């Protein structure tokens, strides 16, 4: 008789192990589905933020500067700002001062929920200043570390 009892225990153990494997498989599928939903919702939210940034473009950024486009380049949300009159000159000492001033002007973006949402997802906000011939003056970035208080 001990053989039959031991067989019953083995069958019961096999059934329990099978159910555990099935439950674990269902749990993994459920987690994957939830992650895909979160990713999909995140993409929609990021797209909505991008559309808000693009609204009304092109538009004047400042006198002589035009905010022309906003788009993603990898993890960078790049705002392209064109100078309508000045030409890029890498030797111009004024450029470094303007770049510093622009960095200070970006910091208030840290108060905007949409910007914080993007930064929390690893997006870097970049303002790229170019001339009429697409030559770069400079770029300024804003990261989550810049907004840490």
Does the pLDDT of residue 141 top 90, yes or no?
A: yes
Contact between residue 93 and residue 103 where contact means Cβ atoms under 8 Å apart = no
Give 5-46 pLDDT, tens digit per residue: 777 777 666 766 666 666 666 767 656 666 556 555 556 777
52 Cβ contact list (under 8 Å, min separation 6): 114
- Grade residue 128 by pLDDT with cuts at 50, 70 and 90: very high
DSSP labels, 21-85: HHHHHHHHHHHHHHHHHHHHHHHHHHHHHHHHHHTT-SEEEETTEEEEEEEEETTEEEEEEEESS
What is the number of alpha carbons within 13 Å of residue 103 lying toward its C-beta? 13
In this prediction, residue 24 carries a pLDDT of 65
| Paired tokens of 136 | 């770069």
Determine the pLDDT at residue 96: 84
Q: Summarize pLDDT for 104-115 with one digit per residue, the tens.
A: 999 999 998 888
Predicted confidence (pLDDT) per residue in 65-99, tens digit? 999 999 999 889 999 999 998 888 878 888 888 88
- Which residues on neighbouring strands pair with residue 142, listed in sequence order? 125
> Mean pLDDT throughout 121-142?
92
């Amino acid at each position: 008789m001990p053989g039959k009892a031991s067989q019953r225990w083995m069958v019961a153990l096999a059934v329990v192990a099978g159910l555990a494997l099935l439950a674990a498989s269902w749990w993994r599928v459920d987690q994957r589905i939830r992650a895909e939903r979160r990713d999909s919702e995140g993409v929609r939210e990021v797209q909505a933020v991008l559309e808000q940034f693009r609204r009304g473009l092109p538009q004047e950024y400042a006198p002589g500067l035009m905010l022309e486009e906003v788009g993603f380049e990898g993890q960078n949300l790049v705002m392209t700002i064109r100078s309508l009159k000045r030409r890029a000159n890498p030797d111009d000492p004024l450029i470094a001062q303007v770049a510093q001033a622009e960095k200070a002007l970006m910091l208030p973006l840290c108060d905007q929920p949409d910007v914080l949402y993007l930064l929390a997802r690893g997006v870097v906000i970049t303002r790229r200043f170019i001339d009429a011939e697409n030559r770069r003056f400079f770029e300024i970035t804003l990261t989550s570390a810049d907004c840490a208080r």
